[in-house]
Amino acid sequence: MSMPKFLLRRTLQGIFVIWGVVTVLFVLRAVSPGDPATLMLGEGANQELIQQVRAEEGLNDPIFVQYADYITDLVTGDLGYSWRSNREVEAMVIERIPATLELSIAATIVAISIAVPMGVISATRREQLSDYGATLFSLLGISTPNFWLGLMLILVLGVWVGIFPTGRRAVGFGEALMTLVGTGSPGELLTWLEYIALPALTLGTYFTALITRLTRSGMIDELGKPYVKATQAKGLPLVLTRYKHVLRNTMIPIITVLGLQMGTLMGGAVITETVFNWPGLGQRFVDALGIRDWPLMQGIILFVAISFVVINIVVDALYTYLDPQVSVE
């Protein structure tokens, strides 16, 4: 199959998935207890007003009419208004994207830069002290709840040692970068780094553990293959074989796993943002859930689902570049 055809098919599948997600959300909202008009106006609003809102919002229509309206709104890009703050959901989602994006990218960088070297060392020095150390670390990493790890990092590195700030994020990456470009002073960028260090470490630990495990087992499999012996026979330096050929082949399946683990990253972001009072989408989602602000919850989930679909299409397309043996089929 050619690349354009592949992209077209995956995009159609992606649209189907997104339709599924919004339909599930519609059903959840329809069966969840609580009258939307009452939630919008607050407890104790007068009955007449509630009836008026019900009529305006189409809440008295048959359920399939409501569903059709809902899908039409979404297709035309109308995410509606928050029930509580009455602001546009779209704006409320967009303003929170940078903080979550910064955190997710920082966590991924932390994870890859620790895990890949650790996995390689572990695989090339099997059954040695460093291998046991890496194995123990990854076992702890996948077994520790995010929120507890975050609190312990705050306690140890923030309070006891005192090298990291423990308060709410002081500056966004965008602003910090603008300051650097504008005035040439890196001060704000350093502040940004100080504030993001602990949240990124918290969110990244599970992935560090996961990638260490995958790199280790992938390297071990790959090192046993005949081509490694062939490069040795040819006289290629061991280091070059390991890092250029073996590691590259190991990375391919890991990238797929990372794409599929996007959901875990977002779930982790919900928790991490709550622990660190980080002004991102996860925190907004928990707040919205607490007051059952369905349009806002839907907007956030929709954004996450679309990102998930797009990232996985990109990952699959990248696959063919990384591994020429794989075709898009």
Which residues of the shown chain bind another protein in the complex (CB under 8 A)?
13, 16-18, 20-21, 24-25, 28, 31-33, 139-140, 142-148, 151-152, 154-155, 159, 206, 260-264, 266-268, 270-271, 274-275, 285-286, 289-290, 292, 297, 301, 304-305, 308-309
Q: Which is nearer to another protein, 60 or 277 (CB)?
A: 277
Q: How far is the CB of 286 from another protein (least distance, A)?
A: 6
Return d(Cα 171, Cα 165) in angstroms, integer. Answer: 13
Nearer to another protein among residue 134 and residue 270 (C-beta) = 270
Task: State the nearest-atom distance from the C-beta of 235 to another protein, in Å.
Answer: 35
Q: Least CB distance from residue 205 to another protein, whole Å?
A: 12
Encode 258-310 in three state secondary structure: HHHCHHHHHHHHHHHHHHHCCCCHHHHHHHHHHCCCHHHHHHHHHHHHHHHHH
d(CA 223, CA 247): 9
Shortest distance (Å) from residue 217 CB to another protein:
11
Strand, coil or helix: 324: coil
> Quick one: 161 or 239, whose CB is closer to another protein?
161
Residue nearer to another protein on the CB measure, 64 or 160: 160
Q: How far is the CB of 130 from another protein (least distance, A)?
A: 17
Residue 244 Cβ, how far from another protein at the closest point, in Å? 27
Residue 199 Cβ, how far from another protein at the closest point, in Å?
A: 15
* Distance spanning both ends of the chain, measured CA to CA: 6
Which C-beta is closer to another protein: that of 103 or that of 176? 103
Smaller CB distance to another protein: residue 260 or 326? Answer: 260
β partners of residue 49? none
Cβ-proximal residues to 199 (8 Å cutoff; 6+ apart), any chain:
103, 106, 107, 150, 272, 273, 275, 276, 278
CB of 191 to another protein, least distance (A): 22
Chain CA centroid to CA 74, Å: 23
Distance, CA of 28 to chain centre: 23
Cβ proximity to another protein, 98 vs 267, nearer residue: 267
Q: What is the CA radius of gyration of the chain?
A: 24
Phi, psi of 127 (to 5 degrees): 60, 20
State which residue, 15 or 55, has the beta carbon closest to another protein: 15
Minimum distance of another protein from residue 311's CB (angstroms): 10
| Residue 326 near residue 319 (C-beta atoms within 8 A) | yes
Q: Among residues 28 and 68, whose Cβ is nearest to another protein?
A: 28
From 318, 294, 319, 309, select the one nearest 89 (Cα to Cα): 294
DSSP one-letter code for 160: I
CB-based contact 57:66 (threshold 8 Å): no
Please state, in angstroms and rounded to a whole number, the distance separating the CA atoms of residues 104 and 3.
29
Give CA–CA dist 32/22, Å, rounded.
Answer: 15
